[in-house]
Amino acid sequence: MFFRLVSLASLTIAAVLFTSCGTNGLTIVPKDKIHGLSGGGRNFTVPAPSPKTMSAAANKPRDKHSMPVYTFSERTRVVRTTAYTCSEDDHLIYGSKNATGTPLRYTNRVRSAAADWSFYPVGTTFRIKGLPYLYVVDDYGSALTGTGTVDLYKPSKEVMSLWGRRTVELTIVQWGSFNRSAEILSQRTKHPHCRQMLANIVRQRPDLGRIAMR
């Protein structure tokens, strides 16, 4: 009986560590329930951007990854995506929290994403063609600064690796807030990537310069 209790306790601890990254209230989808897996769980089946979307992207200016840069009036776009998780070395100090201070989300309905807030202001919601989830930009990362890349939150390194790097068709459902982005970033200007995002926001929205000067 003792050994059975020890085994059950060990399994419980392991489950908590895997599913939550040490977080409260984060709903994790079990591996065998993750939508869009094929090839024995090796690849997410996400359709390629449509020929129409690819054609519209052909003559646009490019970021450092040679991906198209869009105006805010263009909601459907070709986007480079990567993946991250809270157990990566550069995210350990933040734990399960995003850049707004709330828990990272990964549910059957809503999932967190990181981006340059001058490209996708905090609170921006979007969908990826072929996937049923609604993604919300509530995080950022220094490697994303100056690019249109969107980093998708995953609950573990295993699931993160399954996604890898993918070019997808992304459609903006609702734009987030430049005001809120500027307010948060203005408190973190000791970090170069925060200063860069804030400066780019002010270039686009000079009226927010007063927030940047606080």
Domain locations along the chain: 26-176
pLDDT of residue 210: 87
Per-residue pLDDT reduced to its tens digit, 44-61: 589 999 999 999 999 999
3-state secondary structure the chain: CHHHHHHHHHHHHHHHHHHHCCCCCCCCCCHHHCCCEECCCCEECCCCCCHHHHHHHCCCCECCCCCECCCCCCCEEEEEEEEECCCCHHHHHHCCECCCCCECCECCCEEEEECCCCCCCCCCEEEECCCCCEEEEEECCHHHCCCCCEEEECCCHHHHHHHCCEEEEEEEEECCCHHHHHHHHCCCCCCHHHHHHHHHHHHHCHHHHHHHCC
Domain 26-176 top-level CATH class:
mainly beta
Per-residue pLDDT reduced to its tens digit, 74-128: 999 999 999 999 875 545 455 689 999 999 999 999 999 999 999 999 999 999 9
